[in-house]
Amino acid sequence: MTASVNGTVGIAELAARRGGSVIDTGTDVVAASVVDRVGLVVLNRPERRNALHPGMYEAVPRLLMEFAADPEIGSVLITGAGTTFCAGGDVRRKVENAGGSIEERAAGLTHNARISTLLHDMPKVTIAALPGAAVGAGLSIALATDLRIAASSAKLVAGWGDLGFSGDFGGTWFLTRLLGPSRAMEFLVSGEPMSAPQAQDWGLVNRVVSDAELAEAALDWATAVAAGPRQAWAATKGNVLRAAEMSLSEALPLESEQMVRSGMTDEHKAAVRAWMERAQMDRAARSREGR
């Protein structure tokens, strides 16, 4: 697993300290573990600022599919080793492997971009922890998650225009959904890095913490989500995703069905029992105080 950088504990190291079980990913460029019902994926190529690598294109989707199917996993946390989230596609490899027809190359890129699709579509809450810059396709991967937490020094960088590219891994789609067309275009064509505080103001990042606090804050957040009602969160995520595509009249029957189904789960029954027990304890406490 990854090590500390400049005295700051990384998320993978913290997960190990908390008793996380390491998963064999089959490659050195991706690390993974499970801790407190959180599936952790670490892009582990810090010497290249975690630039995307062929090994990641196979290992990360495989891990995400495994976590999505595992009923014991309540949330998925993805991050980068060292002080960068992901610098995007490896430009050197793109230049070296530029052969094939447009259709073949586009199909290959779409195949690799399933990392974004899986993070966005899986029935688990997904969280990205940004220890530093998220650039190009790395930015897309971060935006594909449901929630994002960033170190105060982190930056969001479109980066595609600097290389004469138009965007990949769903980046333009996510930015348009999150910012609206005008602001998305402003960010994409400006080429200016966006600071973590501005990203929070614009709604691209949910939380910003100090660099030293990121590992603990991100893992604690993912653990809290994972400890919640997993079936209910899956249905809630489905409702949220449909809300961006459907009218209220179309979405309401589906939301209602999910509400009824969630009321039939063991999660719901256990939550009601716990609520009733807390209410009884509160009444007893008020009664004692009244004496």
The predicted-structure confidence for 145-203, as pLDDT tens digits, reads as follows: 999 999 999 999 999 999 999 999 999 999 999 999 999 999 999 989 999 999 999 99
Give mean pLDDT, residues 64-72. Answer: 97
Domain boundary among 226, 247, 269: 226
DSSP at 152: T
DSSP SS3 for 205: coil
Q: What is the CATH number of the domain that holds 275?
A: 1.10.12
Q: What is the pTM of this model?
A: 0.91
Q: Which pLDDT tens digit goes with each residue over 225-284?
A: 999 999 999 999 999 999 989 999 999 999 999 999 999 999 899 888 988 899 888 888
Task: Tell me the CATH number at 160.
Answer: 3.90.226.10
Query: 180 with 251, same domain?
Result: no
Q: Does residue 6 form part of some domain?
A: no
241 and 162 in a single domain? The answer is no
Q: What is the DSSP letter of 20?
A: P
Same-domain pairing of 146 and 256: no
pLDDT band at 5 (very low <50, low <70, confident <90, very high): very low
The C-alpha angle 14, 126, 123, rounded to 5 degrees, equals 135
117 and 238 inside one domain: no
Q: Are residues 169 and 234 in the same domain?
A: no
Whether 141 and 244 share a structural domain: no
At 113-123, the pLDDT tens digits run: 999 999 999 99
Same-domain status, 39 and 177:
yes
Same domain, yes or no: 126 and 248: no
Task: Clarify whether residues 274 and 195 are in a common domain.
Answer: no
Query: Which residues have CB under 8 Å from 120's CB, separation 6+?
Result: 126, 144, 145, 170, 241
Tally of domains in the chain: 2
Q: Same structural domain for residues 19 and 77?
A: yes
Please check the confidence at residue 213 and state whether its pLDDT lies above 60: yes
pLDDT at 8: 55
Residue 41, pLDDT above cutoff 60: yes
Full residue range of the structural domain in which residue 270 is found: 230-290
Burial call 174-190: b when 16+ CB within 10 Å, e when fewer: bbeeebeeeebeebbee
Tokens of 167: 């965007």
Residue 110 and residue 237 share a domain: no
